[in-house]
């Protein structure tokens, strides 16, 4: 094989062949030689640092021990079955334990040989041992490739190991691949960027990531490859945005008229916060360019996003267009409708509500008025995107609590006009900056990072079950002052029997402590008919009931300013962003508000961190950062299946600095050379031609 290249199928590589090629495809999704070279080690063994058995203790994150395998014994029955090895060095001996892959390990581990064992030490009955350590035969005679002090470790699978593709086997393949094609690999980054950002060349980076000679080399390689990965993601995102802006003409809102001015001068009951003003300005500039606006507004609960949305819709009306606002739940749509109608008064423009429970007759009227253009603002749920709903001239769309809507649903709203309406997506789930830059790299982002003046910060405390009587007493005091209280139970899955039992038991408990006729309790959960839910909600909103027992259906957006206490039961079972959302239901009025996190006595480390974070801060962005660190980007809502976060080497949690550097580099390039016409950017043009700017967004919402 003379002409191997990065795109050559992996089967053509010396030492691979069709069978191994198949497992590499199946197990690791490696199809070409280039794919293989981008399969980077997940860690390195520092050959210079070993721990002695005597000094190994359970608090260590990992221990690397050079020792001898003294014995190997299978113990236990069925589920308790395990393989136990005695491992010894000159300071003592310890146990290594495996619960899985026992037959394979029994065959491959050689009693009497020296091994390097690596893993997380744990303590059991006062003895320190390592469960499922990585084992590597230590062979003094064998010269390591290039005599590396940093030995790469590749993750492998049992299947791969059956084909001799353990970390050593993969390393050998990497060597063959590098020998075959390294010299032919093109540098994808422009020279001037390498210089400016002090990055090593591509060939050197690939060589060093697989066969680092020194720690310094390795770090340089890692930095270079991370930069490249993040840079190209940003290049595609921003190119995408640039193309969209060129492609989609937008309505030009070039005047501020009666509706806006009347509202602003005569109806707005409070001065706007600085952040609200700034975001309004951004929206006004953006809707007056002739291109379509796609903007995400992030703002903590209670930061006042609704007014910004309303004023934007009035701007649309002043320019001769209709507007609509879509909310994820019926309750929210109703609240928006009630709130916006009250703010507007009768005479500024026409507003109607369309949801699943709108009567057929009312629906028909709405459809007709929309098509005639006599209805200015339509507020509703998913019912808005039904094909039957046709606007005369829709110019502005607001989507509240964006993460509940898919891109496909957003796109449906676009198609309601030949020129797509401006889109304003509002979210109360602050997303860490790094994640936002990647997930929404092609949206413009506005941030409302200031709460209206005069709000008292919510006091948050954490109580254990055995302090419940104090909590009841506190509730009684607050209710006596005329306040209202939420008590939220986790119904993670509404179908789960246990959860329903908790809810019922909790409700009975409350009914006993807070009996009729002095106290009245509302209850709302997802299994109830919408009509009953609304009825119960309304009773609480009107102040007819003092306690609202609910599941997380009240999580999003519900606004009852007189409710000043939020009690979250089994709070350790909620995610951070959910806890933050729930807490945001109180603190909306002038009174001091409280959030009480109830939990059992046993808390996992992560559960404890979550509750401590909640008690420490109410800054949604800070909470989101902690969430990202606890769970990693893959679990943040809406990102799960988006390929964009599956990176080969970069990590959105730990590589924020490189991400900013890479994104700024791209922004600068587009500023200086929007068409990428300059010769020095030729490699970027080549990259885009090959990969295209389009990233599949259908999984992201
Ligand atoms: P969210 O951003 O959570 O959607 P809302 O728009 O529902 O917040 O606003 C929360 C409450 O704050 C509402 O009662 C609203 O009328 C009030 N509000 C909004 N902006 C201001 C402001 N600038 N000054 C005082 N109160 C405000
Ligand atoms: Mg809201």
Tell me the per-residue pLDDT of 505-525, one tens digit each, with 9 for 90 and over.
Answer: 888 999 999 999 999 999 888
Quick one: pLDDT at residue 146?
44
Residue 655 placed within a domain = no
Nearest atom of ligand 1 to the alpha carbon of 584? 3
Say how far residue 1 (Cα) sits from the centre of its chain.
45
Nearest atom of ligand 1 to the alpha carbon of 559? 7
3-state secondary structure 102-140: HHHHHHHCCCCCEEEEEECEEEECCEEEEECCEEEECCC
Q: Please indicate whether residue 427, judged by its CB atom, sits closer than 6 Å to ligand 1.
A: no
Which residues does 36 contact at the CB level (< 8 Å), separation at least 6?
Answer: 10, 13, 24, 30, 173, 174, 177
SS3 content of the chain, % helix, strand, coil (to 5): 45, 20, 35
Domain count, the chain: 4
- CB-neighbour burial class of residue 1 (10 A; exposed 0-12, middle 13-18, buried 19+): exposed
Whether 693 shows a pLDDT value over 70: the answer reads no
Say how far residue 164 (Cα) sits from the centre of its chain.
37
Residue 540 placed within a domain = yes
Nearest atom of ligand 1 to the alpha carbon of 343? 16
Does one domain contain both 419 and 551?
no
Residue 377 banded pLDDT, cuts 50, 70, 90: very high
Q: Please indicate whether residue 585, judged by its CB atom, sits closer than 6 Å to ligand 1.
A: no
Does one domain contain both 132 and 175?
no
Pocket test for ligand 1, best of 299, 307, 308, 584 (most atoms within 8 A of CB): 307
Q: Which ligand is nearest to the CA of 308?
A: 1
The alpha carbon of 374 and the centre of ligand 2 are apart by a number of angstroms equal to 27
Residue 417 banded pLDDT, cuts 50, 70, 90: low
The alpha carbon of 81 and the centre of ligand 1 are apart by a number of angstroms equal to 60
Residue 686 placed within a domain = no
Residue 291 placed within a domain = no
Residue 641 placed within a domain = no
Rounded Cα gap, residues 69 and 109, in angstroms: 8
| Cβ density class 553-591: b for 16+ within 10 Å, e for less | bbbbbbbbebbbbbbbbbbbbbbbbbbbbbbbbbbbbeb
Pocket test for ligand 1, best of 452, 541, 585, 593 (most atoms within 8 A of CB): 452
Q: Please indicate whether residue 301, judged by its CB atom, sits closer than 6 Å to ligand 1.
A: yes
Lowest mean pLDDT among 116-125, 169-178, 331-340, 634-643: 634-643
Residues 253-306 have pLDDT tens digits of 999 999 999 999 999 999 999 999 999 999 999 999 888 888 889 888 788 999
Instruction: For ligand 1, atom 14, name the residue with the nearest CA.
Output: 588
Residue 449 placed within a domain = no
Rounded Cα gap, residues 183 and 180, in angstroms: 8
Q: Specify the higher pLDDT residue, 657 or 248.
A: 657
Structural tokens at position 196: 């400016």
Q: Which ligand is nearest to the CA of 272?
A: 1
Q: What is the mean pLDDT of residues 355-381?
A: 95
Q: Please indicate whether residue 276, judged by its CB atom, sits closer than 6 Å to ligand 1.
A: yes
The alpha carbon of 138 and the centre of ligand 1 are apart by a number of angstroms equal to 65
Quick one: pLDDT at residue 45?
79
8 Å CB contact between 250 and 292:
yes
Residue 265 placed within a domain = yes
Quick one: pLDDT at residue 386?
81
Instruction: For ligand 1, atom 26, name the residue with the nearest CA.
Output: 452
Cα-based distances in Å from 607 to 272, 332, 637:
37, 30, 18
Residue 678 banded pLDDT, cuts 50, 70, 90: very high
The alpha carbon of 584 and the centre of ligand 2 are apart by a number of angstroms equal to 10
Q: Specify the higher pLDDT residue, 433 or 16.
A: 16
The alpha carbon of 293 and the centre of ligand 2 are apart by a number of angstroms equal to 21
Residues in the chain: 701
Q: Which ligand is nearest to the CA of 586?
A: 1
Q: Please indicate whether residue 428, judged by its CB atom, sits closer than 6 Å to ligand 1.
A: yes
Here the CATH number for the domain that contains residue 56 is 2.40.50.140
Does one domain contain both 133 and 181?
no
Residue 338 banded pLDDT, cuts 50, 70, 90: very high
Residue 471 banded pLDDT, cuts 50, 70, 90: very high
Does one domain contain both 502 and 602?
yes
The alpha carbon of 465 and the centre of ligand 1 are apart by a number of angstroms equal to 34
Q: In this prediction, what percent of the chain has a pLDDT beyond 70?
A: 88
Does one domain contain both 538 and 405?
no
Instruction: For ligand 1, atom 22, name the residue with the nearest CA.
Output: 452
Q: Which ligand is nearest to the CA of 328?
A: 2
Residues 566-619 have pLDDT tens digits of 999 999 988 888 898 889 889 887 789 999 999 988 888 889 999 999 999 988
Tokens 């903007």, residue located: 295
Does one domain contain both 418 and 544?
no
The alpha carbon of 381 and the centre of ligand 2 are apart by a number of angstroms equal to 14
Instruction: For ligand 1, atom 15, name the residue with the nearest CA.
Output: 304
Q: Which ligand is nearest to the CA of 556?
A: 2
The alpha carbon of 130 and the centre of ligand 1 are apart by a number of angstroms equal to 54
- Residues within 5 Å of ion ligand 2, judged at the Cβ atom: 557
Rounded Cα gap, residues 174 and 36, in angstroms: 7
8 Å CB contact between 99 and 93:
no
Q: Which residues constitute the domain of residue 548?
A: 459-617
DSSP conformation class of 693: S
Residue 495 banded pLDDT, cuts 50, 70, 90: low
Residue 335 banded pLDDT, cuts 50, 70, 90: confident
Here the CATH number for the domain that contains residue 585 is 3.40.50.300
Lowest mean pLDDT among 102-111, 354-363, 583-592: 583-592
Q: Please indicate whether residue 642, judged by its CB atom, sits closer than 6 Å to ligand 1.
A: no
Rounded Cα gap, residues 433 and 430, in angstroms: 9
145 closest CA partner among 45, 212, 220, 222? 212
Q: Please indicate whether residue 339, judged by its CB atom, sits closer than 6 Å to ligand 1.
A: no
Q: Please indicate whether residue 588, judged by its CB atom, sits closer than 6 Å to ligand 1.
A: yes
223 closest CA partner among 191, 197, 203? 197
Rounded Cα gap, residues 333 and 356, in angstroms: 11
Tokens 């929210």, residue located: 332
Quick one: pLDDT at residue 143?
46
List the 444-448 sheet strands across, edge first. Answer: 351-354, 377-380, 322-326, 394-400, 422-427, 294-299, 444-448
Say how far residue 258 (Cα) sits from the centre of its chain.
41
Does one domain contain both 64 and 32?
no
Q: Please indicate whether residue 188, judged by its CB atom, sits closer than 6 Å to ligand 1.
A: no
Q: In this prediction, what percent of the chain has a pLDDT beyond 90?
A: 51
Quick one: pLDDT at residue 658?
92
Q: Is the preceding peptide bond at 517 cis, omega within 30 degrees of 0?
A: yes
8 Å CB contact between 322 and 373:
yes
Quick one: pLDDT at residue 553?
65
Does one domain contain both 57 and 79?
yes
Mean pLDDT for the chain?
Answer: 86
Instruction: For ligand 1, atom 18, name the residue with the nearest CA.
Output: 304
Q: Please indicate whether residue 354, judged by its CB atom, sits closer than 6 Å to ligand 1.
A: no
Residue 230 banded pLDDT, cuts 50, 70, 90: very high
Report residue 671: phi and psi, to 5°: -70, -45
Does one domain contain both 140 and 163?
no
Q: Specify the higher pLDDT residue, 686 or 60.
A: 686
Instruction: For ligand 1, atom 17, name the residue with the nearest CA.
Output: 304
83: left (phi over 0), alpha (psi -120 to 50) or beta: beta
Show the DSSP H helices in 197-324 as ranges: 202-210, 215-247, 258-262, 274-286, 305-318
Quick one: pLDDT at residue 555?
53
Does one domain contain both 15 and 119?
no
Residues 382-401 have pLDDT tens digits of 888 888 889 999 999 999 87
List the 563-568 sheet strands across, edge first. Answer: 459-464, 594-599, 563-568, 484-488, 547-550, 521-524
Instruction: For ligand 1, atom 23, name the residue with the nearest CA.
Output: 272
Does one domain contain both 599 and 568?
yes
Nearest atom of ligand 1 to the alpha carbon of 271? 23
Which residues does 77 contact at the CB level (< 8 Å), separation at least 6?
Answer: none
Q: Out of 404, 427, 450, pick the residue that ends a domain.
A: 427
Pocket test for ligand 1, best of 275, 304, 328, 587 (most atoms within 8 A of CB): 304
Residue 162 placed within a domain = yes
Q: Please indicate whether residue 429, judged by its CB atom, sits closer than 6 Å to ligand 1.
A: no
Q: Please indicate whether residue 302, judged by its CB atom, sits closer than 6 Å to ligand 1.
A: yes
Q: Out of 617, 650, 678, pick the residue that ends a domain.
A: 617
Nearest atom of ligand 1 to the alpha carbon of 454? 25
Terminal alpha carbon distance of the chain: 46
Which residues does 186 contact at the CB level (< 8 Å), separation at least 6?
Answer: 202, 683
Q: Please indicate whether residue 303, judged by its CB atom, sits closer than 6 Å to ligand 1.
A: yes
The alpha carbon of 439 and the centre of ligand 1 are apart by a number of angstroms equal to 27
Instruction: For ligand 1, atom 24, name the residue with the nearest CA.
Output: 452
Rounded Cα gap, residues 577 and 573, in angstroms: 12
Instruction: For ligand 1, atom 20, name the residue with the nearest CA.
Output: 304
Q: Specify the higher pLDDT residue, 206 or 434.
A: 206
The alpha carbon of 260 and the centre of ligand 1 are apart by a number of angstroms equal to 18
Does one domain contain both 179 and 317?
no
Q: Out of 617, 634, 667, pick the residue that ends a domain.
A: 617
């Amino acid at each position: 094989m003379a002409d191997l290249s990065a795109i050559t199928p992996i089967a053509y590589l010396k030492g691979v062949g069709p069978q191994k090629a198949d497992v590499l495809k199946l197990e690791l999704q490696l199809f070409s030689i280039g794919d293989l070279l981008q399969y980077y080690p997940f860690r390195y063994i520092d050959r210079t640092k070993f721990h002695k058995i005597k000094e190994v203790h359970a608090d260590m994150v990992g221990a690397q021990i050079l020792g001898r395998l003294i014995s190997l014994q299978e113990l236990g029955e069925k589920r308790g079955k395990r393989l136990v090895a005695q491992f010894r060095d000159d300071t003592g001996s310890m146990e290594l334990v495996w619960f899985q892959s026992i037959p394979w390990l029994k065959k491959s581990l050689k009693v009497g040989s020296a091994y390097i064992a690596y893993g997380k030490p744990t303590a059991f009955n006062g003895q320190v041992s390592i469960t499922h350590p990585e084992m590597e035969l230590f062979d003094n005679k064998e010269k390591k490739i290039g005599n590396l002090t940093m030995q790469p470790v590749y993750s492998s699978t049992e299947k791969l190991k059956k084909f001799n593709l353990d970390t050593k086997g993969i390393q050998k393949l990497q060597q063959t691949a590098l020998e075959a094609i390294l010299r032919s690999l093109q540098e994808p980054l422009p020279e001037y960027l390498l210089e400016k950002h002090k990055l090593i060349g591509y060939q050197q980076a690939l060589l060093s990531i697989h066969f680092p000679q020194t720690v310094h080399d390795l770090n340089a390689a890692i930095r270079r490859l991370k930069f490249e990965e993040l840079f190209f993601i940003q290049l595609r995102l921003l190119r995408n945005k640039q193309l969209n802006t060129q492609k989609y003409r937008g309505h030009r809102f070039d005047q501020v008229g009666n509706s806006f001015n009347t509202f602003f001068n005569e109806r707005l009951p409070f001065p706007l916060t600085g952040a609200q003003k700034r975001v309004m300005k951004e929206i006004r500039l953006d809707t007056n360019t002739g291109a379509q606006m796609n903007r995400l507004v992030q703002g903590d609960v209670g930061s006042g996003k609704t007014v910004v949305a309303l004023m934007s819709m009035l701007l649309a009306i002043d320019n001769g267009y209709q507007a609509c606002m879509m909310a994820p739940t019926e309750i929210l749509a109703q609240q928006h409708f009630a709130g916006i109608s009250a703010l507007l008064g009768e005479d500024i423009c026409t507003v109607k509500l369309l949801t699943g429970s709108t009567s057929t007759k009312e629906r028909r009227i709405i459809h007709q008025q929309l098509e005639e253009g006599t209805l200015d603002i339509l507020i509703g749920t998913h019912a808005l995107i039904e094909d039957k709903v046709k606007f005369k001239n829709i110019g502005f769309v607001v989507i509240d609590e964006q993460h509940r809507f898919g891109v496909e649903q957003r796109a449906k709203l676009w198609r309601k006009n030949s020129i797509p309406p401006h889109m304003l997506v509002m979210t109360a789930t602050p997303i860490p900056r790094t994640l936002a830059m990647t997930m929404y790299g092609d949206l413009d982002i506005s941030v409302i990072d200031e709460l209206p003046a005069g709000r008292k910060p919510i006091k948050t405390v954490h109580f254990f079950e055995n302090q419940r009587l104090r909590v009841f007493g506190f509730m009684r005091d607050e209710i006596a002052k005329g306040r209202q209280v939420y008590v939220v139970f986790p119904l993670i899955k509404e179908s789960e029997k246990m959860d329903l039992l908790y809810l019922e038991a909790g409700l009975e408990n409350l009914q006993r402590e807070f009996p009729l006729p002095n106290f009245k309790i509302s209850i709302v959960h997802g299994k109830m008919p919408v009509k009953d839910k609304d009825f119960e909600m309304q009773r609480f909103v009107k102040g007819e009931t003092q306690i609202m027992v609910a599941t997380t259906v009240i999580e999003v957006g519900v606004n009852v300013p007189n409710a000043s206490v939020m009690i979250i039961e089994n709070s350790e079972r909620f995610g951070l962003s959910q806890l933050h959302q729930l807490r945001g239901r109180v603190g909306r009025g002038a009174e001091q508000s409280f959030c009480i996190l109830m939990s059992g006595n046993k808390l996992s480390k992560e559960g404890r961190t979550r509750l401590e974070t909640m008690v420490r801060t109410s800054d949604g962005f800070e909470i989101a950062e902690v969430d990202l660190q606890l769970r990693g980007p893959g679990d943040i809502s809406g990102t799960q299946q988006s390929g964009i976060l599956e990176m080969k080497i970069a990590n959105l949690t730990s590589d924020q600095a490189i991400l900013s550097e890479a994104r700024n580099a791209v922004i600068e390039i587009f500023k200086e050379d929007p068409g990428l016409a300059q010769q020095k950017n030729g490699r970027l043009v080549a990259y885009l031609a090959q990969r295209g700017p389009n990233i599949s967004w259908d999984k992201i919402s």
